[in-house]
Amino acid sequence: MAPDFEALERLKGYPTTPLAHLPTPLIHLRKLGAVLGTTNLWAKMDAETGFALGGNKVRKLEFALAPPLKDGVTCLITAGGPQSNHCRVTAAFAAREGLRCILVTQRGRAEVPTGNALLHRLFGAEIELVDEGHDRASRMESVAEELRGQGETPLIIPIGASTALGSLGYARAAIELCEQLDALDDGCSETLVFCASSSGGTLAGLILGLDLMDRTDVHLFGVSADTPAAELDDICGTLAREAGERLGARIELGRIRFESIDEQVGDGYGIPTTASREATDLFGRHAGIVVDPTYTSKAAAGLVAHLRAHPPRGDQRVVFLHTGGAPGLLA
């Protein structure tokens, strides 16, 4: 196989609304690596995409909110959990563009909004509360119908912007990461990448980008925040194929090594575990990196568990893809 240069060129020219500060840095975690028994531990800092406190959702929304999709739109509607990073970035974009924003979220445990829930309101979003996560999609549709009846033009953005379109943001991120890895010139022949995964768009985009570049030397691990591993694998594979179709590419999922890990879910979404608390402490004390209870602390815990069970070879480097979410730690 060889890189699909035509599809890569289409990806490069795909319309976006620029929001992120790119490229995000790839930093060497020397102290944390020493604690975990490796000299080759790195962090790809997508927590530093910049817009509205950053995170991985910024890359996805660059595509989901590109012209002509947002042209003529008067209200953005999306959904997520009470501490949704995606809702935070969407609300901030609406505030900047002078658009109305309605967020459909589950009821939070705290009576007074904190963390991302506070930021949703600070950015001027209107909050529609539902009791269960499965009620969010239907409520978004009913809100949109109400707005159309009032003469408005709403745009529904699916949860996490984890669509084929949003995934293209992480196909581009895969290219960016590989360029940084190649510049290291450290003699490593394999890279293990760990990232948080829930709705699947980030991992799907990485799969697509690696496939288009024919980078079989990168092994992806998506650490689930809630979804069973087999289900998440299916979601990511489907999204990656659909995103490839947007570029006229037919990807072969078996060529790129990716796997979902659900051992860090614990008691459920957003609920810390002993391992995630330890990972939060390790990354803070030995790397100066803040991870959040819902997503990145569990991804960090997955990385720590893997390194302890499978110490990397000398020709392997390990990358933690930090997808952001620091406000969740303050909830």
Catalytic residues: 84
Residue listed under structure tokens 């609920």: 271
Distance of CA 272 to CAs 227, 283, 293, Å? 15, 15, 6
Contact 147, 69 (CB under 8 A): no
| Continuous segment of H or E residues that includes residue 79 | strand 75-80
Q: Which residues are CB-neighbours of 188 under 8 A, at least 6 positions away?
A: 40, 315, 316, 317
Alpha helix ranges (H) inside the chain: 5-12, 30-36, 57-64, 85-97, 115-122, 136-149, 164-184, 201-213, 229-246, 274-287, 296-309
CB count within 10 Å of CB 254 equals 7
CB count within 10 Å of CB 266 equals 17
